[in-house]
Structure 1
Amino acid sequence: MKKVKFIYLLLILPLFAFTMHKYYISLCEIEYVESQQAVQITLGMFIDDIEYTLNQDNNTELKIATKNEVSTIDEYFENYLNTHFKISINNKIQGYTYIGKEYDDDIVRFYLEITDIRKLNSIEVTNTSLIKYFDQQQNIIKIKANKKNKTYYLDKKTYKCLLKF
């Protein structure tokens, strides 16, 4: 009987490995709103991935999206994004305003904005978010501007994209 259980276990365990596979992705949506002369950015990441990354980088235990979350969590988020998420508009690096964040189940969405953009000739995005600890991380960038829609897939090797108008 023990032998049958052992064989059964050997056959079943590999199946769990395939069903428990985790995807490492983030989604960034960028839209140029000409009437407001603003670039609006929504960046979504899995909470457990950003939490692991911030905890490793800062040697801390942040407990994101729980009642024990640190009160300075927005500072951690803002500092991380300023380091790993950069935008150049018309060949000039732009600072953005961190408007805030929102938790939605297992995702955190960050809201960012760049103002005073009268004309958009090009937009370059550099996104190295989460790739330090997750080799298979893929950062998807969707840009909607000047009547164009373009999607880019960034990873550890290709972490920049450029769209010219």
Structure 2
Amino acid sequence: MKKLKYSVVIIIAFLLFTSGLVNHEYYVSVTKIEYVKKEKSLQIISQIFIDDFEKLIHERYDESVTLAVKNESKKIDGYMEKYLKYKLDFKVNTQDLDFNFLGKEYKEDIVYCYLEIENIEAIKTLEIKNEVLFDIYPKQQNILRTKINGKDKSFILIPQNNKAVLNFD
């Protein structure tokens, strides 16, 4: 009888522990930023989970759209561009610069948004503010991976620390 009670307690503890792991959700995006000196441009790829971006678009802009479907609404690119311009800021050499939204593509469960900032002669300082999805997920983490002037750096931004500053002097 003691063994049976012990076994039941172990099974219940195991089920409670593993069910907590299954329900735990992570909210992460990855933004890769590379300076291509030959083209004098910052090339940016922002990777966001499709379901998270879709939830955001539903809450902010349009509940009727669905991402990553064959006949996707033409409005989606506009919504994505508008949101990213609101949540991503770039300063090069202390000057605010706007990016061009080049487009997007879907791979598995991620949307890849392609951005570019042109006409950059040289980078001495780069300041990046990334607040993507902070407004709907308080535990969102935005990973930045940069390759500037031959140097690779990475940062994790959270709502309380949403900015990274790099110096290349």
Say whether the fold is shared (TM-score over 0.5): yes
Aligned to 2:3: none
CA–CA distance in structure 2, aligned partners of residues 11 and 128 of structure 1: 37
Aligned to 1:15: 18
Look up the SS of the partner of 1:156 in the other structure.
Answer: coil
CA–CA distance in structure 1, aligned partners of residues 128 and 155 of structure 2: 10
Aligned to 1:161: 164
Aligned to 1:117: 120
> Which of 23, 41, 63 is residue 66 of structure 2 equivalent to?
63
Evaluate the alpha carbon distance shift between residue 67 and residue 152 of structure 1 in structure 2; reply closer, same or farther with a 3 A threshold: same
What TM-score do the two structures reach when normalised by structure 1? 0.90
> Which of 80, 83, 86 is residue 86 of structure 2 equivalent to?
83
Identity among equivalent pairs (%): 34
Map residues 83-102 of structure 1 onto 2, 5 A cutoff: 83-102=86-105
The letter of the residue matching 2:158 is D
Q: Tell me the number of residue pairs that the alignment of Structure 1 and Structure 2 aligns.
A: 161
State the Cα RMSD in Å. Answer: 2.0
The letter of the residue matching 1:121 is K
CA–CA distance in structure 2, aligned partners of residues 102 and 111 of structure 1: 8
Evaluate the alpha carbon distance shift between residue 64 and residue 9 of structure 1 in structure 2; reply closer, same or farther with a 3 A threshold: farther
Larger radius of gyration: 2
What TM-score do the two structures reach when normalised by structure 2? 0.88
- What stretches of structure 2 of length at least 5 have no aligned partner? 1-8
- What stretches of structure 1 of length at least 5 have no aligned partner? 1-6
**Which deviations, in whole Å up to 9, do the C-alpha atoms of 1:97-122 show, x marking residues without a partner?**
11100100100001111111001111
Look up the SS of the partner of 2:84 in the other structure.
Answer: helix
Q: Aligned-pair distance for 1:58?
A: 1.9
Evaluate the alpha carbon distance shift between residue 79 and residue 17 of structure 1 in structure 2; reply closer, same or farther with a 3 A threshold: same
**Which deviations, in whole Å up to 9, do the C-alpha atoms of 1:10-64 show, x marking residues without a partner?**
8635522312322110000000011111110011000001111111112523211
The letter of the residue matching 1:137 is Q
> Which of 136, 140, 164 is residue 139 of structure 2 equivalent to?
136
CA–CA distance in structure 2, aligned partners of residues 82 and 16 of structure 1: 38
Aligned to 1:4: none
CA–CA distance in structure 2, aligned partners of residues 139 and 95 of structure 1: 20
The letter of the residue matching 1:84 is K
Q: What stretches of structure 1 move > 3 A for 4+ residues in a row?
A: 7-11
Look up the SS of the partner of 1:23 in the other structure.
Answer: coil
